[in-house]
Structure 1
Amino acid sequence: MPSWKDHFNAQNFWPTHHNPAIFIMSQWQPDKEVPNVIYLLIRVLIFVAFFVVWVLSYAMETQEGKHKWAIYLTNWGLTLCTIQSFFASLMLICSTFGNSDVTENVLKLYKTYWVINSMATTVAFTISLVYWTLIHQPEYMSPMNFLVHGMNSILMFIDFCVVAQPVRLLHFIYPIIITLAYVTMSAIYFACGGTAKNNDKYIYPILKWDEIPSTLGYCLAIMVVILVIHTATFLLYLLRNKISLLFFDETNEKGVLSDGGVTLTML
């Protein structure tokens, strides 16, 4: 297991891992040398759930809302969740049913997947927290509203609990980058005269770009929330590994745990 100092090594900013096969394994599968069928089923179901919610989030919008669907951070986050679950399912399916060459080639996607997963996990939790504490109003409540602001985090938490891949503390930079990109987009959109889907002046009530000091204050607070949530996710990842030791202690003693996760033989 790495020391705390190792977690702050500058190399950990980058999405590189010495054993890419860790990204197609579950923390909880007994045999950590080959893909697990149950894990494959879970991954595919998570992707299907995200894809269905993603499609419904657009299809159930009003005609006015459809062409403004992309201006909402909720839909950015949902798209990230859907893409990362697609990459995870693709890598696992190809590794399960393909030969060694197919597996080696598809695992080259792990860096892209890892970056998007780091974004999606933290952003999903942040969206749910910020929405239900600062934005939600009783009149907004609907099944679709819960799916895009609640089910996103539930599915990402299930995803987080079953994977074997590590969480890097310094990967907080990725959700920060996507959030800064969204904040920049919202400011430009407002400056160009863009409005919310109900023709309200503001996309979100906390993004009032004609009140810059308060808006920047909210943005800074959200960045802090992202750092806290990512750190909490990292600590939960360490806890997940500790719990896994109780079940797979013999395996771990043989040296298959590395970087807080499972070191696997390439398929």
Structure 2
Amino acid sequence: MEEERSMSTDHNRCCESLVQEFRPDNIGLEYENPSDFVTPQWPINHKGYAVYRATVAVLMVGWIVADLMYESQKFYHDRIWLYLVYATNWSFVLLVLSTCFQAVCVMFYTTRAASCVDRQSFEKMPPSLKLQWVLQNLGYNSAIVVTISYWSFIAFLDHTAILMTDMSRLKHTLNTVFVIFDLMVSATPIRILHMFIPVMLGSIYSLFNAFYFLNDGTILEGRHYAYNVLNWDHPQEAVITCLLCMVESVLSQIILYELYKLRHWIHSKTFFGQEGDLPYSEMQSIMTEAPKYSTMGKGQQPDFS
């Protein structure tokens, strides 16, 4: 009976959370706990988390540099700008930018707050963290779209040499593996209604791709298309591909949201046993328990606005 009541409570909370997720104000970039963007979900030392973010940023920069050098020497030669004709590389660049910007934000706010970053450190959502949120939505979502697209049809329908290399397979696989791992580590929230951000990115790339190739743009071997399934000599097929990628983008945002909720559920069951008793940092408990912190004046707290 107790178990059934618990399951019923969890179900009700899940439904209520989903309903709340579709509130109109969730389409914006305001968030009540900005510290979530620069802290881990788990009880990890903030300096350790800053080291993690810096390490990830360095590794991602190294990866994209190695990928660019490899593809330039083997395929592009003196036309290195062709790297940005591929949707995969748009996504890759955005993912690298996202990880680098996260590292900068985490180190900046952690340093300014002397490792005491919590919800009381912020009066409002800073513009820098809003930009970080946009970049994360773009990088995370597009990575999943790229992986799904590649392993669903591109790898089987398009045997272009550049798409069949080991580096290409890694780029179309490890990107999503990293996104899932990183999302489960950080405390960054995911909003379903933010699906419009990656959908806009997909629309911009589709317009760029059509404009480039319909104006006699060429890619490797003089071809007028980057992907077999996005050949504007067959406009109906190309439009269907674009629409399919938009649908994938929406589904990817839902996947990210479910992973975000799973992270919260695991955290609540592991550390508290009750949903909603989620910590925002190590300092939150200190400030709650110690009178001298709870009575600290506004002028004594770091200003991040």
Task: Provide TM-score, normalisation by structure 2.
Answer: 0.76
Q: Does 1:49 align with 2:59?
A: yes
The structure having more radius of gyration, on CA atoms, is: 2
Give per-residue Cα distances to partners, 1:70-91, cap 9 Å, x unaligned: 1111111011101111111001
Distance 2:37 2:258 in 1: 19
Residue pair 1:19, 1:263 contacting (<8 A) in 2 also: no
1:116 to 1:253, Cα distance in 2 relative to 1, 3 A: closer
**Which residue pairs with 1:215 in the alignment?**
238
Question: Runs ≥4 in structure 1, deviation > 4 angstroms?
Answer: 102-107, 250-257, 261-267
* Larger CA deviation: 186-195 vs 228-237: 228-237
**Which residue pairs with 1:127 in the alignment?**
146
Q: Does 1:171 align with 2:194?
A: yes
The alignment's C-alpha RMSD in Å is 2.9
Q: What SS class does the counterpart of residue 217 from structure 2 fall into? A: coil
1:143 to 1:38, Cα distance in 2 relative to 1, 3 A: farther
1:255 to 1:27, Cα distance in 2 relative to 1, 3 A: closer
Give per-residue Cα distances to partners, 1:117-171, cap 9 Å, x unaligned: 0111110011011112222239543332133222222222221110101110101
1:164 to 1:255, Cα distance in 2 relative to 1, 3 A: closer
Give per-residue Cα distances to partners, 1:53-97, cap 9 Å, x unaligned: 211222221315512111111111011101111111001111222
Q: What 5-or-longer segments of structure 1 have no aligned partner? A: none
User: Counterpart of 1:50 in structure 2: which amino acid?
Assistant: M
Q: What 5-or-longer segments of structure 2 have no aligned partner? A: 1-12, 288-300
Q: Does 1:114 align with 2:133?
A: yes
Distance 2:131 2:160 in 1: 38
Distance 1:247 1:166 in 2: 19
Matches within 5 A, 1:132-151: 132-136=151-155, 137=159, 140-151=163-174
Q: What SS class does the counterpart of residue 202 from structure 2 fall into? A: helix
Q: Does 1:240 align with 2:254?
A: no
Q: Does 1:63 align with 2:73?
A: no
> Bigger relative contact order, structure 1 or 2, given CA contacts below 8 A and separation 6+?
1
Give per-residue Cα distances to partners, 1:17-38, cap 9 Å, x unaligned: 12211101111125xxxx6222
